[in-house]
C-alpha cells in the first residue's frame, strides 16, 4: 500500500500542473501582502469607519494575524479549484491516458488502488495548505509583525489577546484541511465517472460554486437547505476566532463562542469524505473498466 | 466654589508626571475584549498615553485624557455650586465647571468633590464632539496626589454594523440571541484599575509622540 501511495505521489509531483497551485497561492498571497503593506491604512480606515464614531483604537491593527485572517477568507473560497485540478484527475486522468485498465490488472485490489490515489491527493491537498499557512501566516507575521488580533464582524468586534491567537490558527488550518480534503474527495468521486480530466474538474467546481451560492444567499427558502450543504460547514474555521464572554461582558481567554458548531461541521465533513471515498470504491469495484 | 476647585487643582498640580500599571476592562455591547494589562503615562499639562500589552487598546472617543488633571487643566473656568450628593458613601459638593474659552472642547463638567479629602469622586463631562462621559473614581494609596486606584468611564455608544459583504460573513446567527439581547442597549464602560504609580520621576516629551 505504501509503495502504491509513493507511486501516486511521484505521479502527482512530476506533473508541472501540480505546481500551478503552489505558484498561484504564492502569487495571490504576496500581491495581497504587497497591497496591504503599501496601502493598508486606507483599508483599515474604511473598516473602522463605524466603530471609530464611538471608540478610539490605538495600536497595530493590521498585523500578521489579521492579514492572515483576511487572506484565508478570500483564498479558502478559491483553493478548492486548485485542489480539484489534481483530485478530479486521479482516476479520469488514467482513463484518458489509457492506463487505467493496465493499472487494475496489477496484483493489488481496486480498493487498494483507489485508497492509495485518494491518500496521495490528500497529501497534495495538505501540502498546499501547509504552503498557504507558511505564506499567509508566518510570512505575514514576519512582514507585518505580531500583536493582539482585532477582528471586525458584521455586528460586533472581537479583540483576541496576542497569546490567545496562534492556537486558533492551528485549529483553523486543521479544520480548513478537513474542508479541502472533502473537496478532494468530491473531485475524486466524480473522477471515476469520466474518461477525461476536464469534466470532473469542472463538475467539482460547479458543485462547489452552486452550493456556496446557496449557502451564502440569505433567502428563507434556501435556509432550510443550508445545514445539508457541505459548503456551509466548510467556513466553520471562522468559529475558532470568536470568543465567549461572561456575564460581565469580559471575553474569556482560550474560549470559543460555539465549539459545538465546529464539532458538528467537522463531523458533517468527515461523513462527506467517507461517503465520497466509500462511494468511489463501491462504484469502481463494480465498474467495467474499458480504457 | 472657585476656591474649592483651585484647592483640588493645587493638589493635582503636585503631580508633574506619572507612570502607572493597571488592568483595563472594556465593557461595550458590541466589543468582545478580554481584561488587558495597560501602562499609563501622563505629563503636565495634558500629555497622556495608554499602552496595552499586546498593542491594541480600545478607549472611548474623546475620553482619552482619562484623568482629572486634564479635566481641570485649564484655569479659565467659572465654578458654580450645585448642591451636595453622596457618591459611594462619601459626601460630596457638586460643582459645575464652565470653561470661559469659547474654543474649549468641553461644554460643561460636573464635579462631585469630596471636600475634606480634596478628591474628585465623580465627574460628568459634556463635550462638543464626543457626547457625555462619566468618570467615577475610587482612591487608595495615592490619594495624597489625587491619583485614583480605580476609574470607571461610562459613555454612550453608537450602533455598530458592518455589511456582511465587507466582513465576508454569510452565515446566520453569528451570535446566540440570548447573548445579543443581554448586551443590547447597554452604556459603554471602560474600567481601569491602577497599581504601582511612579510619580514625578520624569518622562520625555518624545514618549508621547
The alpha carbon dihedral of A24, A30, A35, A36 has a sign of positive
**Strands in B44-187 per DSSP E:** 47-52, 57-60, 77-87, 90-99, 106-114, 119-127, 132-139, 148-155
Measured in angstroms, the CA of B119 and the nearest CA of chain A are apart by 28
Q: What does the pLDDT average to over B124-134?
A: 83
Is A216 within 8 Å of chain B by CB?
A: yes
Is B105 within 8 Å of chain A by CB?
A: no
pLDDT in the model for residue A180: 93
Task: Give the up-direction half-sphere exposure of residue A228: CA atoms within 13 A in the CB hemisphere.
Answer: 4
Phi/psi for B112 (5° steps) reads: -110, 100
Query: What is the tally of structural domains in chain B?
Result: 1
For testing contact with chain B, the best of A155, A250, A257 (most B CBs within 10 A): A155
Per-position pLDDT tens, chain A of length 291 = 788 888 888 988 888 888 988 999 999 999 999 999 988 888 888 777 777 767 788 888 889 999 999 889 888 778 888 898 888 888 888 888 888 888 888 888 889 989 999 999 999 999 999 999 999 999 999 999 998 999 888 778 899 999 999 999 999 999 999 999 999 999 999 998 888 888 999 999 999 989 888 887 777 887 888 888 888 898 889 999 999 988 888 889 889 998 999 999 999 999 999 999 999 999 988 887 776
Contact B74, B98 (CB under 8 A): no
- Is A251–B25 a contact, with Cβ atoms under 8 angstroms apart? no
Q: How many helices (H) and strands (E) does chain B have?
A: 4, 12
Spatial distance between the Cα atoms of A195 and A101, rounded to a whole number of angstroms:
12
Within-domain flag for B51:
yes
Give the domain range for residue B151: 2-202
> Is the bond preceding residue B45 a cis peptide, omega within 30 degrees?
yes
Spatial distance between the Cα atoms of A284 and A21, rounded to a whole number of angstroms:
28
Spatial distance between the Cα atoms of A239 and A218, rounded to a whole number of angstroms:
19
pTM of the model: 0.85
pLDDT over threshold 80, residue B162? no
For testing contact with chain A, the best of B23, B29, B39, B58 (most A CBs within 10 A): B58
Measured in angstroms, the CA of A259 and the nearest CA of chain B are apart by 13
Q: In chain A, which residue's Cα lies nearest the Cα of B36? A: A161
Domain boundaries, given as residue ranges, for chain A: 2-286
Is B29 within 8 Å of chain A by CB?
A: yes
Closest residue to B54, CB basis, from A73, A161, A257: A161
- Is B34–A164 a contact, with Cβ atoms under 8 angstroms apart? yes
Closest residue to A50, CB basis, from B50, B62, B161: B161
pLDDT in the model for residue A274: 95
Phi/psi for A145 (5° steps) reads: 85, 175
pLDDT in the model for residue A49: 74
pLDDT in the model for residue B177: 42
Is B162 within 8 Å of chain A by CB?
A: yes
Closest residue to A154, CB basis, from B61, B157, B167: B167
Residues of A in contact with B29 (CB under 8 A): 156, 249
Is B177 within 8 Å of chain A by CB?
A: no
Residues of B in contact with A53 (CB under 8 A): 61, 158
Within-domain flag for B40:
yes
Within-domain flag for B208:
no
Within-domain flag for B125:
yes
Is A42 within 8 Å of chain B by CB?
A: no
SS (HEC) of chain A: CHHHHHHHHHHHHHCCCHHHHHHHHHHHHHHHHHHHHHHHHHHHHHHHCCHHHCEEEECCCCCHHHHHHHHHHHHCCCHHHHHHHHHCCCCHHHHHHCCHHHHHCCCCCHHHHHHHHHHHHHHHHHHHHHHHHHHHHHHHHHHHCCCCEEEECCCCEEEECHHHCHHHHHHHHHHHHHHHHHHHHHHHHHHCCCCCCHHHHHHHHHHHHHHHHHHHCCCHHHHCCHHHCHHHHHHHHHHHHCCCECCCCEECCCCCCCHHHHHHHHHHHHHHHHHHHHHHHHHHHHCCCCC
Complex ipTM over 0.90: no
- Is A148–B54 a contact, with Cβ atoms under 8 angstroms apart? yes
Is B172 within 8 Å of chain A by CB?
A: yes
- Is B32–A157 a contact, with Cβ atoms under 8 angstroms apart? yes
Residues of A in contact with B176 (CB under 8 A): 258
Please state, as a whole number, how many other Cβ atoms lie within 10 Å of the Cβ of residue A273: 21
Is B183 within 8 Å of chain A by CB?
A: yes
Is A245 within 8 Å of chain B by CB?
A: yes
For testing contact with chain B, the best of A63, A159, A233 (most B CBs within 10 A): A159
Residue keyed to cell 471515498: A277
Task: Say whether B182 sits in a helix, a strand or coil.
Answer: helix
pLDDT in the model for residue B73: 61
Q: Can you give the CATH number for the domain in which B27 is found?
A: 2.50.20
Measured in angstroms, the CA of A59 and the nearest CA of chain B are apart by 4
Spatial distance between the Cα atoms of A280 and A273, rounded to a whole number of angstroms:
10
Spatial distance between the Cα atoms of A240 and A168, rounded to a whole number of angstroms:
5
pLDDT in the model for residue B181: 47
- Give the cell for residue B127: 463635550
Say how many CB pairs under 8 Å bridge A and B: 143
- Is A156–B160 a contact, with Cβ atoms under 8 angstroms apart? yes
Amino acid at each position: 500500500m505504501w509503495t502504491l501511495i509513493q507511486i501516486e505521489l511521484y505521479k502527482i509531483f512530476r506533473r508541472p500542473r501540480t505546481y500551478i497551485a503552489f505558484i498561484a497561492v504564492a502569487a495571490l498571497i504576496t500581491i495581497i501582502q504587497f497591497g496591504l503593506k503599501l496601502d493598508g491604512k486606507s483599508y483599515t480606515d474604511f473598516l473602522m469607519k463605524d466603530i471609530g464614531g464611538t471608540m478610539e483604537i490605538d495600536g497595530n491593527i493590521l498585523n500578521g494575524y489579521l492579514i492572515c485572517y483576511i487572506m484565508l477568507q478570500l483564498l479558502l473560497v478559491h483553493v478548492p479549484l486548485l485542489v480539484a485540478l489534481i483530485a478530479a484527475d486521479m482516476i479520469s486522468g488514467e482513463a484518458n491516458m489509457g492506463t487505467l485498465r493496465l493499472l487494475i490488472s496489477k496484483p493489488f485490489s481496486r480498493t487498494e488502488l483507489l485508497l492509495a490515489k485518494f491518500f496521495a491527493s490528500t497529501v497534495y491537498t495538505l501540502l498546499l495548505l501547509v504552503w498557504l499557512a507558511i505564506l499567509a501566516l508566518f510570512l505575514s507575521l514576519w512582514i507585518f509583525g505580531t500583536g493582539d488580533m482585532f477582528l471586525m464582524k458584521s455586528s460586533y468586534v472581537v479583540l483576541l489577546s496576542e497569546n490567545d491567537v496562534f492556537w486558533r490558527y492551528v485549529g483553523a488550518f486543521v479544520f480548513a484541511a478537513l474542508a479541502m480534503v472533502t473537496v478532494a474527495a468530491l473531485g475524486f468521486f466524480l473522477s471515476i465517472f469520466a474518461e477525461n480530466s476536464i469534466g470532473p474538474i469542472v463538475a467539482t467546481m460547479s458543485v462547489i460554486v452552486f452550493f456556496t451560492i446557496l449557502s451564502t444567499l440569505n433567502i428563507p427558502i434556501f435556509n432550510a437547505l443550508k445545514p445539508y450543504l457541505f459548503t456551509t460547514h466548510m467556513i466553520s474555521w471562522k468559529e475558532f476566532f470568536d470568543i465567549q464572554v461572561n456575564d460581565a461582558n469580559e471575553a474569556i481567554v482560550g474560549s470559543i463562542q460555539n465549539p459545538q458548531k465546529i464539532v458538528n461541521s467537522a463531523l458533517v465533513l468527515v461523513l462527506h469524505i467517507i461517503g465520497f471515498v466509500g462511494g468511489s470504491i463501491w462504484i469502481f469495484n463494480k465498474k467495467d473498466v474499458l480504457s | 466654589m472657585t476656591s474649592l476647585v483651585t484647592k483640588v487643582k493645587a493638589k493635582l498640580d503636585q503631580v508633574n508626571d506619572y507612570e502607572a500599571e493597571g488592568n483595563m476592562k472594556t465593557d461595550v455591547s458590541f466589543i468582545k475584549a478580554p481584561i488587558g494589562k495597560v501602562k499609563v503615562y501622563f505629563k503636565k499639562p495634558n500629555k497622556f498615553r495608554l499602552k496595552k500589552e499586546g498593542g491594541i487598546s480600545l478607549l472611548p472617543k474623546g475620553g482619552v485624557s482619562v484623568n482629572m488633571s486634564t479635566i481641570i487643566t485649564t484655569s479659565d473656568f467659572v465654578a458654580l455650586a450645585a448642591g451636595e450628593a453622596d457618591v459611594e458613601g462619601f459626601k460630596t459638593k457638586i460643582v459645575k465647571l464652565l470653561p470661559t474659552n469659547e474654543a474649549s472642547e468641553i461644554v460643561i463638567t460636573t464635579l462631585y468633590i469630596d471636600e475634606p479629602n480634596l478628591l474628585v469622586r465623580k465627574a460628568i463631562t459634556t463635550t462638543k464632539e464626543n457626547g457625555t462621559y462619566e468618570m467615577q473614581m475610587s482612591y487608595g494609596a495615592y490619594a495624597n496626589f489625587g491619583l485614583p486606584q480605580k476609574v470607571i468611564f461610562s459613555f454612550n455608544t453608537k450602533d455598530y454594523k458592518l455589511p456582511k459583504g465587507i466582513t465576508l460573513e454569510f452565515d446566520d446567527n453569528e451570535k446566540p440571541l440570548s447573548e445579543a439581547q443581554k448586551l443590547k442597549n447597554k452604556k459603554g464602560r471602560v474600567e481601569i484599575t491602577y497599581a504601582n504609580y511612579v510619580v514625578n520621576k520624569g518622562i520625555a516629551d518624545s514618549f508621547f509622540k
